[in-house]
Amino acid sequence: MSVTKPISAISAGDIRARKGGDPVVSLTCYTTPMARLMDAQCDFVLVGDSLGMVLHGLPSTLGVTMEMMILHAQAVARGLSHALMVVDMPFGSYEQGPQQAFANAARIMAETGAGAVKLEGGCRMAETIAFLVARGIPVMGHVGLTPQSVNALGGYKVQGRDDQAEVVLADARAVADAGAFAVVLEKVPAALADRITAEVAIPTIGIGASAGCDGQVLVVDDMLGLFDAFKPKFVKRYADLADQARAAIADYAAEVRARRFPGPEHVFADQTEKGAK
Ligand code: KIV
Protein backbone atom coordinates (compact mmCIF):
# COMPACT_ATOMS: atom_id res chain seq x y z
CA MET A 1 0.00 0.00 0.00
CA SER A 2 1.27 3.45 -0.86
CA VAL A 3 -0.37 6.49 0.73
CA THR A 4 -0.33 9.92 -0.87
CA LYS A 5 -2.49 12.17 1.29
CA PRO A 6 -2.44 12.81 5.05
CA ILE A 7 -4.79 10.52 6.97
CA SER A 8 -5.32 12.95 9.85
CA ALA A 9 -6.44 16.49 10.51
CA ILE A 10 -3.66 17.09 13.04
CA SER A 11 -0.06 17.48 11.86
CA ALA A 12 3.28 17.27 13.63
CA GLY A 13 3.43 21.07 13.32
CA ASP A 14 0.15 21.36 15.22
CA ILE A 15 1.59 19.25 18.06
CA ARG A 16 4.78 21.37 18.04
CA ALA A 17 2.63 24.51 18.39
CA ARG A 18 1.04 23.15 21.58
CA LYS A 19 4.20 23.88 23.64
CA GLY A 20 3.03 25.43 26.90
CA GLY A 21 -0.62 25.23 25.82
CA ASP A 22 -3.42 22.74 26.44
CA PRO A 23 -1.99 19.32 27.35
CA VAL A 24 -1.44 16.97 24.41
CA VAL A 25 -3.41 13.71 24.77
CA SER A 26 -1.98 10.51 23.36
CA LEU A 27 -2.26 6.72 23.64
CA THR A 28 -0.55 3.87 21.88
CA CYS A 29 -2.65 2.16 19.22
CA TYR A 30 -2.13 -1.02 17.21
CA THR A 31 -5.42 -1.91 15.49
CA THR A 32 -8.24 -0.37 13.43
CA PRO A 33 -11.04 -0.84 16.03
CA MET A 34 -8.97 0.77 18.78
CA ALA A 35 -8.00 3.63 16.44
CA ARG A 36 -11.71 4.28 15.82
CA LEU A 37 -12.36 4.36 19.57
CA MET A 38 -9.60 6.85 20.39
CA ASP A 39 -9.40 9.04 17.26
CA ALA A 40 -11.68 11.82 18.51
CA GLN A 41 -10.09 12.02 21.98
CA CYS A 42 -6.40 11.89 21.07
CA ASP A 43 -4.19 14.54 19.52
CA PHE A 44 -1.80 11.86 18.33
CA VAL A 45 -1.74 8.09 18.52
CA LEU A 46 1.53 6.22 18.74
CA VAL A 47 1.94 2.94 16.92
CA GLY A 48 4.50 1.94 19.52
CA ASP A 49 6.91 -0.95 19.28
CA SER A 50 5.40 -1.93 22.64
CA LEU A 51 3.07 -3.89 20.34
CA GLY A 52 5.74 -6.60 20.38
CA MET A 53 5.16 -7.22 24.08
CA VAL A 54 1.50 -6.23 24.32
CA LEU A 55 0.11 -8.00 21.25
CA HIS A 56 2.75 -10.52 20.20
CA GLY A 57 3.94 -11.80 23.61
CA LEU A 58 7.60 -10.94 23.02
CA PRO A 59 9.81 -10.52 26.13
CA SER A 60 11.00 -7.04 25.01
CA THR A 61 10.68 -4.68 22.05
CA LEU A 62 13.94 -5.90 20.53
CA GLY A 63 12.33 -8.54 18.30
CA VAL A 64 9.93 -6.11 16.62
CA THR A 65 10.48 -5.79 12.86
CA MET A 66 9.75 -3.15 10.21
CA GLU A 67 7.12 -5.48 8.74
CA MET A 68 5.28 -5.69 12.09
CA MET A 69 5.32 -1.91 12.49
CA ILE A 70 4.09 -1.30 8.95
CA LEU A 71 1.29 -3.89 9.15
CA HIS A 72 -0.05 -2.46 12.44
CA ALA A 73 0.36 1.15 11.29
CA GLN A 74 -1.63 0.43 8.12
CA ALA A 75 -4.40 -1.01 10.30
CA VAL A 76 -4.37 2.00 12.63
CA ALA A 77 -4.43 4.43 9.71
CA ARG A 78 -7.76 2.93 8.57
CA GLY A 79 -9.34 4.02 11.85
CA LEU A 80 -8.10 7.62 11.97
CA SER A 81 -9.29 10.90 10.52
CA HIS A 82 -8.47 13.32 13.34
CA ALA A 83 -5.44 12.26 15.38
CA LEU A 84 -1.89 12.37 14.05
CA MET A 85 -0.34 8.92 13.62
CA VAL A 86 3.25 8.60 14.87
CA VAL A 87 5.01 5.30 14.17
CA ASP A 88 7.93 3.92 16.19
CA MET A 89 11.06 2.95 14.30
CA PRO A 90 11.91 -0.54 15.51
CA PHE A 91 15.25 -1.61 17.02
CA GLY A 92 17.90 -2.04 14.33
CA SER A 93 16.12 0.08 11.71
CA TYR A 94 17.91 3.42 12.33
CA GLU A 95 20.94 3.11 14.63
CA GLN A 96 23.49 2.43 11.86
CA GLY A 97 23.31 6.02 10.69
CA PRO A 98 21.27 8.70 8.97
CA GLN A 99 21.09 6.91 5.60
CA GLN A 100 19.68 3.71 7.07
CA ALA A 101 17.27 5.73 9.22
CA PHE A 102 16.08 7.74 6.22
CA ALA A 103 15.48 4.64 4.07
CA ASN A 104 13.38 2.99 6.78
CA ALA A 105 11.56 6.15 7.91
CA ALA A 106 10.67 6.96 4.29
CA ARG A 107 9.31 3.43 3.86
CA ILE A 108 7.15 3.81 7.00
CA MET A 109 5.81 7.17 5.82
CA ALA A 110 5.11 5.96 2.25
CA GLU A 111 3.55 2.61 3.15
CA THR A 112 1.44 3.64 6.17
CA GLY A 113 0.48 7.31 5.79
CA ALA A 114 2.14 8.15 9.12
CA GLY A 115 2.54 11.85 9.85
CA ALA A 116 5.75 11.30 11.82
CA VAL A 117 8.15 8.69 13.16
CA LYS A 118 9.55 8.27 16.67
CA LEU A 119 13.01 7.02 17.50
CA GLU A 120 14.82 6.44 20.78
CA GLY A 121 17.99 8.20 21.96
CA GLY A 122 19.19 11.71 22.71
CA CYS A 123 22.64 13.12 21.92
CA ARG A 124 23.66 9.99 20.01
CA MET A 125 20.66 10.35 17.67
CA ALA A 126 20.86 14.12 17.06
CA GLU A 127 22.62 13.86 13.70
CA THR A 128 20.10 11.27 12.48
CA ILE A 129 17.11 13.34 13.64
CA ALA A 130 18.48 16.43 11.86
CA PHE A 131 19.03 14.38 8.69
CA LEU A 132 15.44 13.10 8.65
CA VAL A 133 13.91 16.49 9.51
CA ALA A 134 15.92 18.17 6.72
CA ARG A 135 14.39 15.66 4.30
CA GLY A 136 10.79 16.26 5.29
CA ILE A 137 10.24 13.58 7.91
CA PRO A 138 8.83 14.89 11.22
CA VAL A 139 10.55 13.14 14.13
CA MET A 140 9.46 12.66 17.73
CA GLY A 141 12.35 11.98 20.13
CA HIS A 142 12.32 9.62 23.11
CA VAL A 143 14.72 10.04 26.05
CA GLY A 144 15.01 8.88 29.66
CA LEU A 145 14.16 5.18 29.74
CA THR A 146 14.58 3.97 26.18
CA PRO A 147 13.27 0.37 26.19
CA GLN A 148 15.22 -0.66 23.08
CA SER A 149 18.40 -0.11 25.16
CA VAL A 150 17.19 -2.30 28.03
CA ASN A 151 20.31 -4.45 27.88
CA ALA A 152 22.66 -1.47 28.05
CA LEU A 153 20.60 0.19 30.81
CA GLY A 154 20.47 -2.99 32.91
CA GLY A 155 16.67 -3.11 33.11
CA TYR A 156 13.63 -0.84 32.95
CA LYS A 157 14.95 1.55 35.61
CA VAL A 158 14.14 5.18 36.38
CA GLN A 159 16.63 7.36 34.46
CA GLY A 160 18.07 10.73 35.45
CA ARG A 161 18.29 10.42 39.21
CA ASP A 162 21.00 12.37 41.06
CA ASP A 163 24.00 13.23 38.85
CA GLN A 164 22.35 11.54 35.81
CA ALA A 165 19.79 14.36 35.58
CA GLU A 166 22.16 16.44 33.45
CA VAL A 167 22.56 13.52 31.02
CA VAL A 168 18.81 13.27 30.39
CA LEU A 169 18.50 17.07 30.15
CA ALA A 170 21.31 17.13 27.57
CA ASP A 171 19.56 14.35 25.62
CA ALA A 172 16.27 16.27 25.53
CA ARG A 173 18.07 19.46 24.46
CA ALA A 174 19.94 17.61 21.71
CA VAL A 175 16.69 16.14 20.34
CA ALA A 176 15.01 19.56 20.35
CA ASP A 177 18.02 21.30 18.77
CA ALA A 178 18.11 18.63 16.04
CA GLY A 179 14.59 19.62 14.99
CA ALA A 180 12.31 17.05 16.63
CA PHE A 181 8.74 18.36 16.99
CA ALA A 182 8.20 16.76 20.43
CA VAL A 183 10.02 14.45 22.84
CA VAL A 184 8.80 11.57 24.98
CA LEU A 185 10.20 11.57 28.53
CA GLU A 186 9.92 8.05 29.92
CA LYS A 187 10.42 7.07 33.55
CA VAL A 188 12.30 10.13 34.80
CA PRO A 189 11.84 11.87 38.19
CA ALA A 190 8.95 14.35 38.19
CA ALA A 191 11.16 17.32 39.13
CA LEU A 192 13.52 16.57 36.25
CA ALA A 193 10.60 16.25 33.82
CA ASP A 194 9.35 19.67 34.96
CA ARG A 195 12.80 21.16 34.49
CA ILE A 196 13.17 19.70 31.00
CA THR A 197 9.67 20.94 30.10
CA ALA A 198 10.66 24.44 31.20
CA GLU A 199 14.00 24.38 29.38
CA VAL A 200 13.31 22.79 25.98
CA ALA A 201 11.36 24.58 23.26
CA ILE A 202 9.36 21.54 22.08
CA PRO A 203 6.46 19.75 23.82
CA THR A 204 7.46 17.07 26.32
CA ILE A 205 5.22 14.00 26.34
CA GLY A 206 5.41 12.21 29.67
CA ILE A 207 5.08 8.53 30.51
CA GLY A 208 6.16 7.93 34.08
CA ALA A 209 7.31 11.57 34.19
CA SER A 210 5.16 14.47 35.48
CA ALA A 211 1.71 16.03 35.13
CA GLY A 212 3.68 19.19 34.30
CA CYS A 213 4.76 17.78 30.92
CA ASP A 214 3.17 19.32 27.82
CA GLY A 215 1.31 16.06 27.20
CA GLN A 216 0.94 12.45 28.29
CA VAL A 217 1.04 9.05 26.59
CA LEU A 218 0.12 5.63 27.98
CA VAL A 219 0.07 2.15 26.52
CA VAL A 220 -3.63 1.66 25.80
CA ASP A 221 -3.73 -1.97 26.90
CA ASP A 222 -2.21 -0.92 30.25
CA MET A 223 -4.71 1.86 30.95
CA LEU A 224 -7.67 -0.29 29.91
CA GLY A 225 -6.45 -3.16 32.09
CA LEU A 226 -6.31 -5.43 29.05
CA PHE A 227 -2.61 -6.21 29.58
CA ASP A 228 -2.58 -7.30 33.21
CA ALA A 229 0.55 -9.49 33.40
CA PHE A 230 2.13 -6.64 35.42
CA LYS A 231 1.40 -2.97 36.09
CA PRO A 232 4.19 -0.38 36.10
CA LYS A 233 3.84 2.25 38.88
CA PHE A 234 3.21 5.00 36.30
CA VAL A 235 0.16 3.28 34.83
CA LYS A 236 -3.31 4.26 36.00
CA ARG A 237 -5.95 1.69 35.14
CA TYR A 238 -9.08 3.44 33.90
CA ALA A 239 -10.86 0.09 33.35
CA ASP A 240 -10.38 -3.62 34.07
CA LEU A 241 -11.18 -5.06 30.66
CA ALA A 242 -9.14 -8.24 31.14
CA ASP A 243 -11.35 -9.17 34.12
CA GLN A 244 -14.47 -8.39 32.09
CA ALA A 245 -13.19 -10.41 29.12
CA ARG A 246 -12.34 -13.41 31.33
CA ALA A 247 -15.82 -13.31 32.89
CA ALA A 248 -17.53 -12.99 29.48
CA ILE A 249 -15.51 -15.89 28.02
CA ALA A 250 -16.30 -18.06 31.06
CA ASP A 251 -20.05 -17.26 30.68
CA TYR A 252 -19.91 -18.16 26.98
CA ALA A 253 -18.07 -21.43 27.68
CA ALA A 254 -20.60 -22.39 30.39
CA GLU A 255 -23.57 -21.61 28.09
CA VAL A 256 -22.11 -23.60 25.18
CA ARG A 257 -21.45 -26.58 27.48
CA ALA A 258 -25.03 -26.36 28.85
CA ARG A 259 -26.52 -25.89 25.32
CA ARG A 260 -27.98 -22.54 26.42
CA PHE A 261 -26.18 -20.74 23.56
CA PRO A 262 -27.29 -20.13 20.85
CA GLY A 263 -30.76 -19.19 22.08
CA PRO A 264 -33.90 -19.00 19.93
CA GLU A 265 -33.12 -15.36 19.09
CA HIS A 266 -29.75 -16.32 17.56
CA VAL A 267 -30.92 -19.03 15.15
CA PHE A 268 -32.77 -18.92 11.79
CA ALA A 269 -36.29 -20.10 11.02
CA ASP A 270 -37.06 -22.53 8.18
CA GLN A 271 -39.33 -20.11 6.39
CA THR A 272 -38.61 -16.48 5.59
CA GLU A 273 -40.46 -14.28 8.07
CA LYS A 274 -41.46 -10.72 7.14
CA GLY A 275 -38.65 -8.35 8.06
CA ALA A 276 -36.29 -11.26 8.87
CA LYS A 277 -32.62 -10.94 7.89
O1 KIV B 1 6.34 1.76 22.26
C2 KIV B 1 5.72 2.46 23.05
O3 KIV B 1 4.60 2.15 23.48
C4 KIV B 1 6.35 3.71 23.50
C5 KIV B 1 5.67 4.44 24.60
C6 KIV B 1 5.98 3.76 25.88
C7 KIV B 1 6.07 5.87 24.64
O8 KIV B 1 7.38 4.08 23.01
- The pLDDT of 248-272, averaged and rounded, is 96
Helix/strand/coil for 49:
coil
Encoded amino acid at 175, one letter: V
CA of 219 to the centre of ligand 1 (A): 7
- Residues labelled as active-site residues: 186
Cα 259 to averaged position of ligand 1 atoms, centre (Å): 44
Q: 116-118 and 139-144 as β-strands: parallel, antiparallel, unpaired?
A: parallel
Q: What is the CA radius of gyration of the chain?
A: 21
pTM of this prediction?
0.95
Which secondary structure element, helix H or strand E, spans residue 205, and what is its range?
strand 204-207
How deeply is 257 buried, as exposed, middle or buried, from its count of CB atoms within 10 A (0-12, 13-18, 19+)?
A: exposed
Q: What is the pLDDT of residues 128-169, one digit of tens each?
A: 999 999 999 999 999 999 999 999 999 999 999 999 999 999
Predicted confidence (pLDDT) per residue in 52-79, tens digit = 999 999 999 999 999 999 999 999 999 9
Is the C-beta atom of 104 inside 6 A of ligand 1? no
Residue 270 has pLDDT above 70, yes or no: yes
Indicate which residue's Cα is closest to atom 5 of ligand 1. 48
Q: Provide the pLDDT confidence category of residue 2 given band limits of 50, 70 and 90.
A: low
Do 68 and 50 contact (CB within 8 A), yes or no?
no
Please report which confidence band the pLDDT of residue 230 belongs to, taking 50, 70 and 90 as the band edges: confident
Answer whether 253's CB lies under 8 Å from 259's CB.
Answer: no
Q: Say how many Å lie between the CA of residue 49 and the centre of ligand 1.
A: 6
Calculate what percentage of the chain has a pLDDT beyond 70: 96
Please compute the mean of the pLDDT values over residues 259-263 and round it to a whole number. Answer: 98
State residue 53 phi and psi, 5-degree precision.
-80, -45
To test the pocket of ligand 1, the residue of 86, 88, 94, 156 to mutate (highest count of ligand atoms within 8 Å of its CB) is: 88
Classify 10 as helix, strand or coil.
Answer: coil
Q: Is the CB of 207 under 6 A from ligand 1?
A: yes
Q: What value does the mean pLDDT of the chain take?
A: 96
